[in-house]
Structure 1
């Protein structure tokens, strides 16, 4: 039997554009396909139905494999807040919860991203093993979002992303 624990990742980013522009990048499928778990050149699917109970789906194709990310909206409050689930069914049945809070400022906005990450562990693991797994999940997830948020910033501020070669 697989047990689970959680870890919470919180990241904050500032943007030199309106809160509405950042909010749109989270929900507009044409914008999502450029930065959200995918790149425009490798994206196969970008679907979004952004209302409470609605779903989203991204399929990215890399190295002959499809990577599918899906979720369901729990809260959509334009342009301030989005709460949704996140799951990659090919890897795990676990489902994370993500909250995106966007606050406007005079010259832009600030986005606070919070992900409650479900960390599976096996029977017999010590508390030290579980803590190590939580730290690894948190660190790897932060690195992935860091790359995505760089792309998001470029997209909303310049209209395009300069992908690394």
Structure 2
């Protein structure tokens, strides 16, 4: 969704299921948006909130692969890891996601990329957690800021 040239990130908590849905459109072809999500050298350039540095420990983005990355800020480290359950080039990524600060909170995430007219792409990502409390804690953690700021940096990366 765009307004005055700036893309809007929609983050919605489902009222019936402990799920968060993120929708965002990009002014770039689907293949380019997919690559930015699967190439670790690109992922570290845009993922996470402003002011945090990211480093990839490992990133094997294929069906059956896994990942671990770390965000750092002011000497603090925040680790994340998961497994890729299904990866279909330029179309779909299904993965688990765990913030290591809450190791029991495993989310099942699904990212779908839809081709739009004019060489644009719609991203729809869902994160399903095990409880409404877990979902609400996920939202209260400031993840919305990190998602919005990261997608703004992704816009700049895709424009290059």
TM-score normalised according to structure 2 size: 0.76
Match of 2:143 among 141, 145, 151: 141
User: How much has 1:148 moved relative to structure 2?
Assistant: 2.0
CA drift of 1:149 comes to: 2.0
Kept in 1: contact 2:69–2:81 (CA 8 A): yes
Corresponding residue to 1:116 among 118, 128, 144: 128
Is 1:58 equivalent to 2:73 in the alignment? Answer: no
Structure 2 residue matching 1:87: 3-state secondary structure: strand
Match of 1:151 in 2: 153
Question: Take 2:110 and 2:129, find their aligned partners in 1: how far apart are those partners?
Answer: 12
CA RMSD of aligned residues (A): 2.4
State the distance in 2 between where 1:49 and 1:93 align.
23
Number of residue pairs matched by the alignment: 142
Distance of aligned partners of 1:42 and 1:20 in 2 relative to their CA distance in 1, 3 Å threshold: same
Residue 126 of structure 1: aligned partner: none
**Which protein has the larger Cα radius of gyration, Structure 1 or Structure 2?**
1
SS in 2 for 1:93: coil
The answer for the alignment partner of 1:32 in structure 2 is 43
Q: Is the 8 A contact 1:69 1:86 kept in 2?
A: yes
Give the unaligned 5+ runs of structure 1.
1-5, 120-129, 160-165
Q: Deviations over 1:54-74 (max 9, x none)?
A: 011111221111111111101
- In the TM superposition, residue 31 of structure 1 has moved relative to its aligned partner by 0.5
